[in-house]
């Protein structure tokens, strides 16, 4: 196999009810694993499936209503459907994804090993809050651990395709071109960031105002998120401002700007490049350029 082909894979997605947002199954070529995903509203049909009678690992994802942040529960079970039924009292989750083995060779030790690795990875990535941050894990013989590491790698490939990105690493600042950097300023406060596929990353060392605007009493999203960032030691108080002590990815430029401004803010106008051009202006310019170029010309092959 070519070195540059080692991570390639053919994905087979089956829409059980014909809808991309309802129950789906997902498989990769030459892999014994299988994923089942679906919304909470379809939980009765999901747990009736044969796959739900097997051992595996599962993920419950949704929004923490108190902080507005994405939240995930990572668990393992010898019988998936039995464990999922025990989680119906948790109201934060809206989506279920679970993985099993088609050859039924996953043991209790295997799934506990996977659970431990998954929780460890999710904690280090830091995209989502973890409903359960503790795992007993499991020690495996070297050959079994190697097999499960491959299983884990394939799961990481499939999860984003199923709309779950809590294991996807946030791209670090290294290699970022200066021309890609964006800046958000208010008074003597300055933050630096860059756009990502999922929103906008505010970089370590960026600043935010210490005092919140009165509008946060009515629109509490910014205040709740700022409190969460303080509690999680992502930002800290320094003199008359808040300072980011690590990179943090927000779901949108506006969410990032609201935290920095201490209240509601329009991220498209608040974030600007080194030349003072706002995101809004950059996007309008890009669209105008596409319109000016017109559709690609397709001619006969020579």
pLDDT per residue as tens digits for the range 27-72? 999 899 999 999 999 999 999 999 999 999 999 999 888 777 889 9
* 36 and 145 together in one domain: yes
* 124 and 194 together in one domain: no
Which structural domain range is residue 129 located in?
3-161
Query: What is the pLDDT, as a whole number, of residue 35?
Result: 97
* 195 and 50 together in one domain: no
* 204 and 105 together in one domain: no
Select from 128, 161, 194 the last residue of a domain: 161
Select from 104, 136, 161 the last residue of a domain: 161
Closest CA to 101 of 160, 168, 151, 44: 151
Residue 263 lies in a domain: yes
pLDDT per residue as tens digits for the range 241-259? 999 999 998 889 999 999 9
* 67 and 121 together in one domain: yes
Residue 215 lies in a domain: yes
How close are the terminal C-alpha atoms of the chain, in Å? 32
pTM to 2 decimals? 0.67
* 155 and 249 together in one domain: no
How many Cβ atoms sit within 10 Å of the Cβ of residue 194?
17
What is the residue whose two structure tokens read 């395709």? 161
* 17 and 157 together in one domain: yes
Answer yes or no: are the C-beta atoms of 58 and 84 closer than 8 Å: yes
Residue 166 lies in a domain: no
Tell me the C-alpha to C-alpha distance, in Å, between residue 221 and each of 74, 200, 254, 263. 26, 17, 11, 9
Residue 173 lies in a domain: no
Q: Is a pLDDT exceeding 60 seen at residue 174?
A: no
Residue 301 lies in a domain: no
């Amino acid at each position: 196999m070519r070195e540059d082909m080692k991570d390639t894979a053919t994905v087979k997605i089956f829409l059980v009810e014909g809808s991309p947002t309802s129950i789906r199954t997902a498989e990769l070529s030459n892999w014994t694993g299988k994923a089942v995903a679906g919304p909470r509203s379809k939980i009765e049909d999901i747990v009736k499936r044969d796959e739900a009678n097997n051992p595996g690992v599962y993920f419950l994802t949704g929004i923490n209503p108190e902080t507005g942040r994405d939240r995930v529960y990572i668990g393992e079970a010898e019988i998936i459907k039995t464990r999922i039924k025990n989680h119906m009292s948790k109201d934060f989750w809206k989506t279920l994804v679970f993985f099993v083995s088609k050859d039924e060779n996953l043991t209790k030790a295997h799934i506990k090993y996977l659970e431990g690795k998954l929780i460890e990875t999710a904690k280090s990535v830091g995209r989502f809050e973890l409903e359960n941050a503790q795992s007993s894990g499991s020690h495996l013989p070297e050959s079994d651990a190697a097999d499960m590491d491959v299983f884990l790698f394939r799961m990481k490939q499939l999860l984003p395709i199923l709309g779950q990105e809590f294991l996807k690493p946030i791209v670090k600042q290294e290699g970022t071109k200066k021309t890609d950097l964006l800046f958000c300023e208010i008074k003597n406060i300055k933050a630096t960031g860059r756009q990502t596929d999922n929103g906008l990353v505010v970089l370590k060392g960026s600043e935010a105002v210490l005092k919140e605007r009165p509008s946060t009493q009515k629109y509490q999203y910014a205040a709740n998120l700022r409190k969460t960032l303080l509690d999680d030691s992502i930002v800290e108080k320094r003199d008359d401002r808040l300072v980011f002590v690590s990179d943090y990815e927000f779901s949108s430029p506006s969410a990032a700007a609201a935290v920095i401004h201490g209240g509601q803010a329009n991220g498209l106008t608040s974030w600007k490049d080194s030349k003072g051009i706002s995101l809004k202006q950059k996007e309008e310019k890009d669209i105008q350029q596409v319109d000016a170029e017109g559709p690609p010309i397709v001619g006969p092959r020579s």
